[in-house]
């Protein structure tokens, strides 16, 4: 196992630059804001992608969050973030979070005059506290700890779900076509390691074999040097290959990004006719780094040679990808990276539009500085040097999940999946549901550290 060469160079450059600056500056309390902020400036002044547009530093004793923000090239930079604890940052990027194990989207009925908000459950995580109670996708949460969610208080109430909390909710009843109030439930947040491989199956419809996989974020495994999630994805595609699937649907609707190494792994299972000499992506750093280090001037990431690769088995050399406005970063990297090799057919909403990458940094010289930062350090291109998706990828078929009541993921009548199946088979679905008029106010997914993040700093095979 080794670090990719380009990332090793960046990390060594930052350490060398930091040590040089430490020699030039007076010593200060290593636990102080000033110590953290000096380190932040040293890193940013070396690796930040928009180095020529780096902001003016504010007072050195400022809160590190404010200091970091002042350096960013807003609004161009929408994605650089700072975290108070580096280890918690790394845990979160690997899918380990303090939570009860359910995600939801907040909605407000646009036709209603009142200020009420409700949370529509999007999915329940395996082996979580939420998986042990009667809570399902599509359930409508109205109260947290007995307090009605409103436009004025929902941000404050959401903080309660990181501890023990109660939920008041209702479930849609098909027979009566109304929502039925369910018994209140109590949940306790735990340190939960989420497996991003959420669901995989093969459908046989009109003699067409369709492989379907839902992937929620990009992480090789649950911890450093752990590749169990990538290995599980390999097994999923080995099964698809053994089943002889004719079509592939990849569901990225809730996938906000993650580690590039896992994106390379998944793309290498899909792209036809690729080998370890085929280029998946190219990476560009700031002018200073590319001038100082020849190794950073022409960084290319090849595909992996995978025995589980589907090859040329997909009809019309096409992959179907389900998207939403929260499909970002490493998900978009795959879309862009596959386009030179096959037809990438998108169904859903316009994606986020993130063609830049991050590296997590910690202060290795000062153990009292717990902060971690994820600055944008690079821009990604495909093998044809294309990177023109800052406004997101437009779908071939435009749909929003919020248009209909949520059905279980994997149900062939679920809106995005049934649309993909109809496109594959050429047969319109008989499913018809009332369209909903509701405003998306945000999601628990938006608060995840990995949301909109493409991480380059990862041990590679």
- pLDDT exceeds 90 at position 16: no
DSSP letter at 56?
P
- pLDDT exceeds 60 at position 450: no
Helix axes 228-243, 260-270, angle to 10 degrees: 10
Instruction: With residue 280 as reference, give the H or E element that holds it.
Output: strand 279-284
Give percent of the chain above pLDDT 70: 90
Query: Regarding predicted confidence, which is higher, 460 or 169?
Result: 169
pLDDT tens readout for residues 216-238: 999 999 877 899 999 999 999 99
- pLDDT exceeds 80 at position 443: yes
- CA-to-CA dists, residue 253 to 123, 155, 357, angstroms: 12, 23, 20
CA dihedral for 436, 122, 430, 215, sign (positive or negative)? positive
Beta bridge partners of 321: 250, 346
Q: What is the pLDDT of residue 203?
A: 98
What gap in Å lies between CA 205 and CA 393, rounded to an integer? Answer: 29
Q: What is the pLDDT of residue 458?
A: 40
Instruction: Judge contact between 438 and 340, C-beta under 8 A.
Output: no
pLDDT tens readout for residues 269-303: 999 999 999 999 999 999 999 999 999 999 999 99
Across the chain, what does the average pLDDT equal? Answer: 91
What gap in Å lies between CA 446 and CA 105, rounded to an integer? Answer: 9
pLDDT tens readout for residues 109-161: 766 668 899 999 999 999 999 999 999 999 999 999 999 999 999 989 999 99
pLDDT tens readout for residues 334-390: 999 999 999 999 999 999 999 999 999 999 999 999 999 999 999 999 999 999 999
Strand order in the sheet with 81-83: 81-83, 372-374, 361-362
306 φ/ψ sector (left φ>0, alpha ψ -120 to 50, else beta): beta
Coil, strand or helix at 413: coil
CA dihedral for 285, 288, 289, 293, sign (positive or negative)? positive
Burial class (CB in 10 A: 0-12, 13-18, 19+), 365: middle
Kindly indicate the confidence band of residue 95, based on its pLDDT and cuts at 50, 70 and 90. Answer: confident
Q: What is the pLDDT of residue 62?
A: 98
Bridge pairing between strands 102-109 and 438-443:
antiparallel
Q: What is the pLDDT of residue 280?
A: 98
pLDDT tens readout for residues 21-66: 655 667 899 999 999 999 999 999 999 999 999 999 999 999 999 9
pTM here is 0.90
Tokens representing 369? 């500085």
Kindly indicate the confidence band of residue 96, based on its pLDDT and cuts at 50, 70 and 90. Answer: confident
Q: Please, what are the domains in the chain?
A: 2-93 (no CATH), 96-192 (2.30.42.10), 195-355+380-430 (3.90.226.10)
Q: Give the mean pLDDT of 209-215.
A: 98
What gap in Å lies between CA 327 and CA 354, rounded to an integer? Answer: 9
Q: Give the mean pLDDT of 198-206.
A: 97
């Amino acid at each position: 196992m080794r670090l990719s060469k380009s990332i090793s160079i960046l990390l060594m450059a930052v350490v060398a630059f930091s040590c040089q600056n430490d020699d030039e500056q007076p010593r200060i309390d290593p636990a102080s804001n000033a110590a953290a902020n000096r380190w932040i400036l040293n890193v940013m002044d070396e690796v930040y992608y928009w180095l020529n547009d780096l902001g003016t530093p504010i007072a050195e004793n400022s809160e590190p969050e404010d200091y970091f923000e002042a350096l960013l090239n807003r609004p161009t930079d929408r994605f650089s973030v700072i975290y108070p604890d580096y280890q918690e940052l790394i845990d979160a990027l690997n899918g380990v979070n303090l939570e009860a194990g359910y995600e939801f989207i907040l909605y407000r009925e646009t036709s209603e005059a009142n200020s009420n908000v409700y949370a529509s459950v999007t999915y329940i995580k395996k082996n979580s506290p939420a998986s042990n109670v009667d809570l399902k996708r599509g359930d409508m949460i109205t109260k947290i700890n007995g307090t009605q969610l409103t436009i004025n208080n929902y941000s404050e109430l959401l903080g309660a779900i990181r501890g023990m909390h109660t939920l008041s909710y209702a479930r849609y009843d098909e027979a009566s076509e109304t929502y039925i109030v369910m018994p209140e439930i109590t949940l306790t947040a735990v340190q939960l390691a989420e497996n991003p491989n959420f669901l995989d199956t093969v459908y046989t419809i009109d003699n067409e074999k369709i492989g379907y996989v839902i992937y929620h974020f990009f992480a090789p495994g649950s911890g450093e040097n752990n590749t169990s999630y990538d290995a599980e994805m390999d097994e999923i595609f080995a099964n698809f290959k053994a089943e002889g699937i004719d079509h592939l649907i990849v569901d990225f609707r809730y996938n906000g990004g993650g580690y590039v190494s896992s994106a390379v792994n998944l793309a290498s299972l899909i792209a036809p006719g690729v080998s370890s000499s085929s280029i998946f992506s190219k990476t560009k750093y700031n002018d200073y780094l590319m001038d100082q280090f020849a190794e950073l001037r022409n960084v290319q990431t090849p595909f992996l040679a995978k025995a589980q690769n589907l090859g040329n088995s997909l009809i019309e050399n096409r992959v179907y990808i389900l998207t939403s406005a929260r499909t970002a970063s490493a998900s978009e990297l795959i879309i862009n990276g596959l386009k030179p090799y096959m037809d990438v057919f998108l169904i859903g909403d316009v994606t986020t539009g993130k063609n830049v990458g991050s590296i997590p940094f910690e202060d290795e010289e000062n153990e009292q500085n717990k902060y971690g930062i994820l600055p944008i350090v690079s821009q990604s291109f495909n093998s044809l040097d294309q990177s023109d998706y800052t406004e997101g990828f437009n779908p071939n078929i435009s749909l929003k999940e919020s248009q209909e009541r949520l059905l279980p993921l994997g149900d062939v009548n679920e809106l995005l999946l049934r649309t993909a199946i109809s496109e594959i088979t050429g047969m319109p679905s008989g499913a018809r549901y009332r369209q909903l008029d509701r405003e998306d106010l945000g999601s628990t997914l938006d608060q995840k550290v990995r949301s909109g993040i493409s991480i380059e700093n990862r041990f590679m095979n």
